[in-house]
Amino acid sequence: MADVRKIYPRSGDKKTVYLKNVISNPNIIVGDYTMYHDTIHDPKEFETNNVLYQYPINGDKLKIGKFCSIACGTKFLFNSANHALDSLSTYPFPLFFEEWNLEKEKVTDAWDNRGDIVIGNDVWIGYEAVILSGVTIGDGAIIGTRAVVTKDVPPYTIVGGVPAKPIRKRFDEKVIEELLKIKWWDWTEEKIARNIENIKNGCIERLK
């Protein structure tokens, strides 16, 4: 049976980790069996290298579901990377409160706050994709290589490009509806193990 507590799920492979087991930041929540692969950096340094501008003062969260596959170089850009677009200047004056004699408590006025980043279950994020703050990616979605995701992605939808746009649905609406109802990722390990062949082979009828 799979061991969800492992850091390295593959013998001899130090480039792939179960992401949940290398996270210490309480504002990054990751589901069981979600994996991250990095051919350039140590994948255990995901928090430092891949989650950017997530300053504690803002309190924004990265939520990633179960059984996701995250490719090398994926970046999650949080709200503090933004600048206030309603301002007459994009210069972040509140960030330099000491220089300009401003209130320290209002430092978050320097950027637009668009909310958390939420990734569903069984999502595949391709090489060097970028996910922006406030984006929700639905269960079963696929994010193409080097896509820049600026808007929500519906479940089981493939997106790509800059900015990312829908390419196609992975399945017809009836199958998607059934998958979202079944939620196989919430099954017990034993039940998933019994049904792996059906999941791999697309046998939706046998999962009902």
Determine the structural domain holding residue 133 and report its residue range: 16-170
Q: Say whether both 179 and 131 belong to one domain.
A: no
Q: Which residues pair with 16 in a beta bridge?
A: 37
Quick one: pLDDT at residue 1?
Answer: 62
Closest CA to 69 of 120, 133, 10: 120
Tell me, yes or no, whether 120 and 204 share the same domain: no
Same domain flag for 121 and 191:
no
Helices (H), the chain: 46-50, 97-100, 173-182, 189-200, 204-207
Q: Which amino acid is at 177?
A: E
Residue 4, domain member (yes or no): no
121 CA to centre of own chain = 10
Looking up tokens 């909310």, which residue turns up? Answer: 115
- 95, 40 contact by CB (below 8 A): no
Same domain, 91 and 181: no
CATH number, domain of 69, equals 2.160.10.10
- The residues near 31 (Cβ < 8 Å, ≥ 6 apart) are 20, 64, 65, 66, 67, 68, 121, 185
Q: Which residues pair with 70 in a beta bridge?
A: 36, 125
Domain-embedded: residue 192: yes
Please check whether residue 150 lies inside any domain of the structure: yes
- Report yes or no on 10 lying in a domain: no
Residues in the chain with pLDDT values less than 70 = 1, 208
Q: How far apart are CA 72 and CA 205, in angstroms?
A: 34
97 and 165 both lie in a single domain: yes
103 domain residue, yes or no: yes
Distance of alpha carbon 182 from alpha carbon 53, whole angstroms: 36
Its pTM stands at: 0.93
Catalytic residues: 83
Same domain, 193 and 97: no
Clarify whether residues 160 and 194 are in a common domain.
no
Longest dimension (CA), the chain: 66
- Pair 152, 207 in one domain: no
| Residue 3 counted as domain residue | no
pLDDT at res. 130: 98
Is residue 51 within 8 Å of 81, Cβ to Cβ? no
Place of tokens 């984006």: 135
Give domain status of residue 27, yes or no.
yes
Which residues, 6 or more positions from 163, have their beta carbon under 8 angstroms from its beta carbon? Answer: 148, 149, 150, 151
Residue 149, domain member (yes or no): yes
The total domain count for the chain is 2
50 and 115 both lie in a single domain: yes
CB 64 within 8 A of CB 30: yes
